Amino acid sequence: MRFYIATLFLLSLLSLPSVCLATDATSQSKGEELEDVTIKGTIKQEIKTQKPLVRIEEEMIEIDMPVMETEEQLFSKTPATLEIWREAYGHILSSGQAAFPGYTGLVETPIATFQPQIKGGKVISKWTLVITDSKGCDFKKFKGSGDQSIVVVWEGYNDKNEILNVGDMYTYVFNYTDMAGNPHTFVGRPFSVDGLVHQEKNGLFISLANKALFVEERERIKIKEDVFPLLKETADRLKDYFGLPISVIAYGDTTSKALGQAKAIADYLSTNLIIWVDQIKVAGYQAEPEKQRIDVVVQNR
């Protein structure tokens, strides 16, 4: 910068007229002193700089490979339980603890739907549908009037809100009167239910017919072989309520016999469920023949 200022100073001197130079030289010789010369000026110059781009070359594949190898190792591992499943596939399927949804022995409410069809296009004035028990007594009665289509849904309860007795025989009788006042009667086929699932206020009940479960023997309580699918389906239903208290209540000829029947059912359920037999409460009561049954109760409420 100093060199640049000095150059400007010399150029300015050279550009001045010769007279002025002579005068300055005379004045300098007389005074023998040089005057201080101050030159003020500004130089505007833009300094532009550009940073070079930093480029880091790296191989992405080399970075991802260790991570991918770790993931492949995780996916290649097989859980021990799965290995056991592969080795003992048939054994696990034959286990009583495996659920099989194909059984259909248990009936759920509603029990039945009645749709009487009147032949000949007769118009009905009024009608009644009566469900009777094995003694011929009326258990549930429905009635109506008019010529509209008749659809009766029965939940399985009587007028006192009592559930039907499993194993007992029931029949339905349909009576109607046409517009001319002629009465007509139709008697249906008898039917019974050996296994019933019904929700009550104090829990879920799976009621099983006593006579359908056990072989008639005085000294020993034996479960019929052909009823095991029904018991298996009962155990599968209980698996949906894992951890909830379970009770088996039996109603039989005597209290002691009913208690033995309850223990036999509890033993079977414990082998098909992941619980100890002591965790199942059992009780036995004496009851009339048409009311003898086994109630498996889950306290879900």
Global confidence as pTM: 0.65
Q: What is the pLDDT of residue 109?
A: 85
| pLDDT, average across residues 147-156 | 85
Structural domain tally of the chain? 2
**CATH number, residue 280:** 3.30.1330.60
Between β-strands 107-108 and 195-200, what pairing exists: parallel, antiparallel or unpaired? Answer: parallel
What does the pLDDT look like over 29-83, one tens digit per residue?
444 555 666 656 565 555 566 666 666 665 555 555 565 666 666 666 665 555 5
Q: Would you say residue 99 lies in a domain?
A: no
What is the dihedral angle through the alpha carbons of 99, 193, 295, 223, rounded to the nearest 10 degrees?
-70
Q: At CA 107, angle to CA 101 and CA 110, rounded to 5?
A: 125
- The pLDDT mean for the chain works out to 77
Between β-strands 195-200 and 124-132, what pairing exists: parallel, antiparallel or unpaired? Answer: unpaired
Q: Would you say residue 209 lies in a domain?
A: yes
Q: Residue 218 above 80 pLDDT?
A: no
Q: Would you say residue 212 lies in a domain?
A: yes
**What's the rounded Cα separation, in Å, for the pair 199 and 185?**
34
Same domain, 161 and 236: no
Same domain, 203 and 274: yes
Show the domain range for 273: 195-298
What does the pLDDT look like over 86-101, one tens digit per residue?
555 554 455 555 655 6
